[in-house]
Structure 1
């Protein structure tokens, strides 16, 4: 910027990756001339956010951001492409200090934690406070259906052992990892099917498609959920010394025995993408966000150990602000 003395005029052609690649030569020639006459740089490729000094200033790469990505998801993509240290957004420092980030990034905002995984690996946070033998945990997962949203109990950081409850692709999977052992699946429970409209999954406008792609009308696997489909699942979990009782949406209710070798006293949350081993573009992203809302941990006497829920006053304030914003949006969109 300093060498130009101003913000340079830049252009990003639609569709990405087509110029200098498979475009008709006559069309390419006209585009190339007009772009270079009118702009000082051109983001032609959709490969990643990072461009080094060797890059062609008229054939730069850009990151195509999906609307459902969190701030830290974007930052994680930038770190992945640049291989440089990136400062992630933390949010509420007072709430964040209760948690330890094992991997990935966590943003604490209002009554939510947005946990972002690192590429191809799980994002994980642990509550620093050790919990008693008997307690209750209530929370809601609000991440995309295609992905792994995990809750850990009896977590022992020293031995890396735990019992794990995972909401993965609309199923509940219970696994355990004993000290010195591997992860072993114990039980699996399907949840009720989620209804969704195929037409709501739109084409990514900054991507090149073949004729076959466009004629199909969609790049989704009709037997799978689209990756941007979200669903809120409310969990109520009662932890005892030898068992846990799991309730999801007041529909699924299961009891799982706890192996006596699991002696940890911490809880945690995890976020991981689902590896589909498919060519479908919808599963291409190996970074995943989970939203954890309204965490409430209480002891056997119903005394609060930890919560990020709104107080009654905060809830009224939030709802009032949300209503006002909806009214403003309505007038902007309508008039």
Structure 2
């Protein structure tokens, strides 16, 4: 296929290594040269010094704000909105955590930059808390694409890595935090009260609150073992053994191992009231005032708690202390009505694995407003027809995004492919459907499909005027030779880990040790299904990285996964056709945090399509040598910066 200069193949003949010439016996020995090892040490030392200096310069630049960098309000956009007299509503997006390199649950700065850049290019302007309050009172109209931007949990790294981006795009955001963390001066992870004051002074930040504390109550593992109350560090250590049998501190009564409330209505009300009072006192002490914007963690229950009476208590105190509350997660769109409940606003929490078009697709699904999809490399795009969803061609990746509750589909423009080899890395998430269709007719009434869905490989074919038939199915855990724990082994592991955590827990130590003793007794109790294998749930956020090679020649289809043959089947569809790529949303699936997402990204990386009969490479977006070298260099530099960041957190 034709390539841009960036990805054009370059073939260079390499010169043969020359052997060193032998010295003539009559020649005098040459003057002794410097020891090569010593020279290497000097060079390495110089490089290390340069790297250290650059890293410190970068970090210093990240923490200090230039005085002339100030947020500039979008006054003209508000005047235009007022003149139109059209109520556009607003979207609310909330990002939980950002650091330099990112993880499965944490945004990297680069990922956040891509999201914010996409929003900026799509015409979104941020609104302030004052804009929000006045709009909810019916006093003003908002610009057509208004965005209320939040960063939750009061994380220091979120502030450090988000602020330069807010400046770049002239965006203002609200930082919410927990009151109990305001007194943690010199914390490497959490923002203190003085830190929040500095953020507010920058003009790119406003302040909100998530309440007094982040704490989990009524925690049970998947086997019904009672862990009681867990602060965040302990919860993180044990979350792999849980499902959703837990709650947040203000959502329910404190319950015992039989799920029976351990507190009366009066004690529950006093506990909830105390949390709000202590929150106010700490904000007054360390910030000077209590923010009037609240984000209740974590309701999403169509009320203000999972229990009706607890909800009523929360509702009362929220009304006493706050003007606005974001109470729900999932939908990003909010709109003024005469009966609007300002304490039941909703926001969407983008995830690190979302592509740019995934973000836009979710916004489109919630608002119905037209979006300009990110296309990427137009040279690559010329080889394909988009049939469903949206697609971005990003270097060596084809990022295909499904419609909400639907599919994303691409069709290769060459309709003459009969015998082909397709090589591709299937990335994105394990939960969902990646499909490669071969010999696909234009009406899709005839095809051979290779599907990877929820870690299961399946092969289907369909002849014209016939139903689809299944040719082959393989669980890739079997392909990988995965040996599962038994349920009993996993239960014992859960108990052992929990006992250690509870015995070390400094929060309510007497109660924690009592729970640990009860867990010790549980270890000797038999589990009637203990010999059954423990198969972990696939979470919607679990990453996928599978190298697939498909060979279709004549009536034989072979599939290799990660370099190992996974399937060899006979097929009956013989007519030439095209290659199709598709991704299919697989349902809401399981996610411990219970975040709803109805869009799926199929990521097809290092895609190569070869016509076997002609030997022609029809499509190839793999990185070439010079590009791979550049990628490795960037990765090395990133690892150096990550090392310095980790040293700063110790």
**Could you say whether these structures have the same fold, taking a TM-score greater than 0.5 normalized by the shorter chain as the test?**
yes
Partner of residue 210, structure 1: none
Partner of residue 265, structure 1: 577
Partner of residue 555, structure 2: 242
Task: State the alpha-carbon separation in 2 of the partners of residues 256 and 316 from structure 1.
Answer: 38
1:293 deviates by 0.8
Establish whether residue 84 from structure 1 lines up as the match of residue 369 from structure 2. Answer: yes
Identify which of 304, 307, 311 aligns with 1:21.
Answer: 304
Identify which of 388, 408, 424 aligns with 1:123.
Answer: 408
1:223 deviates by 4.6
Identify which of 308, 319, 328 aligns with 2:632.
Answer: 319
Which secondary structure state, in structure 2, belongs to the residue aligned with residue 30 of structure 1?
helix
Identify which of 598, 621, 629 aligns with 1:308.
Answer: 621
Q: Per chain length, whose mean CA-contact separation is higher, i.e. which structure has more relative contact order (CA < 8 Å, sep 6+)?
A: 1
Identify which of 439, 452, 463 aligns with 1:167.
Answer: 452
Partner of residue 215, structure 1: none
Per the alignment, do residues 229 and 17 of structure 1 end up closer, same or farther by CA in structure 2, a change over 3 Å counting? closer
Task: State the alpha-carbon separation in 1 of the partners of residues 430 and 418 from structure 2.
Answer: 32
Identify which of 532, 536, 544 aligns with 1:231.
Answer: 544
Q: Is the 8 A contact 1:143 1:149 kept in 2?
A: no
Identify which of 289, 292, 309 aligns with 2:601.
Answer: 289
Partner of residue 192, structure 2: none
Q: Is the 8 A contact 2:588 2:598 kept in 1?
A: no
Partner of residue 62, structure 2: none
Which structure is larger by alpha-carbon Rg, 1 or 2?
Answer: 2
Task: State the alpha-carbon separation in 2 of the partners of residues 246 and 34 from structure 1.
Answer: 61
Correspondence list, 1:82-161, <5 A: 82-161=367-446
1:81 deviates by 1.3
Partner of residue 96, structure 2: none
Establish whether residue 186 from structure 1 lines up as the match of residue 471 from structure 2. Answer: yes
1:149 deviates by 1.0
1:96 deviates by 1.8
Task: State the alpha-carbon separation in 2 of the partners of residues 158 and 274 from structure 1.
Answer: 24
Task: State the alpha-carbon separation in 1 of the partners of residues 589 and 467 from structure 2.
Answer: 23
Q: Is the 8 A contact 2:555 2:572 kept in 1?
A: yes
Task: State the alpha-carbon separation in 2 of the partners of residues 67 and 279 from structure 1.
Answer: 14
Q: Is the 8 A contact 1:161 1:264 kept in 2?
A: no
Partner of residue 241, structure 2: none
Task: State the alpha-carbon separation in 2 of the partners of residues 128 and 7 from structure 1.
Answer: 44
Structure with greater proportional helix content: 2
Which secondary structure state, in structure 1, belongs to the residue aligned with residue 364 of structure 2?
helix
Q: Deviations over 1:128-181 (max 9, x none)?
A: 123443231111111222211111000112353211010112211111122233
Partner of residue 62, structure 1: 347
* Structure 2 runs not aligned, ≥5 long: 1-73, 83-125, 130-173, 175-292, 494-533
Q: Is the 8 A contact 2:548 2:559 kept in 1?
A: yes
Compute the RMSD of aligned alpha carbons: 3.2
* Structure 1 runs not aligned, ≥5 long: 200-220
Task: State the alpha-carbon separation in 2 of the partners of residues 123 and 177 from structure 1.
Answer: 20
Q: Deviations over 1:212-248 (max 9, x none)?
A: xxxxxxxxx9653222212311111122233222211
Which secondary structure state, in structure 1, belongs to the residue aligned with residue 375 of structure 2?
coil
Task: State the alpha-carbon separation in 1 of the partners of residues 471 and 331 from structure 2.
Answer: 39
Per the alignment, do residues 263 and 303 of structure 1 end up closer, same or farther by CA in structure 2, a change over 3 Å counting? closer
Task: State the alpha-carbon separation in 1 of the partners of residues 467 and 589 from structure 2.
Answer: 23
Which secondary structure state, in structure 2, belongs to the residue aligned with residue 88 of structure 1?
coil
Q: Deviations over 1:286-332 (max 9, x none)?
A: 32112111011223364422100001111111111122122223323
Establish whether residue 31 from structure 1 lines up as the match of residue 318 from structure 2. Answer: yes
Task: State the alpha-carbon separation in 2 of the partners of residues 120 and 233 from structure 1.
Answer: 24
Q: Is the 8 A contact 1:19 1:28 kept in 2?
A: no
Q: Is the 8 A contact 2:588 2:597 kept in 1?
A: no
1:182 deviates by 3.3
Per the alignment, do residues 27 and 286 of structure 1 end up closer, same or farther by CA in structure 2, a change over 3 Å counting? closer
In the superposition, the TM-score normalised over structure 2's length comes to 0.43
Establish whether residue 48 from structure 1 lines up as the match of residue 331 from structure 2. Answer: yes
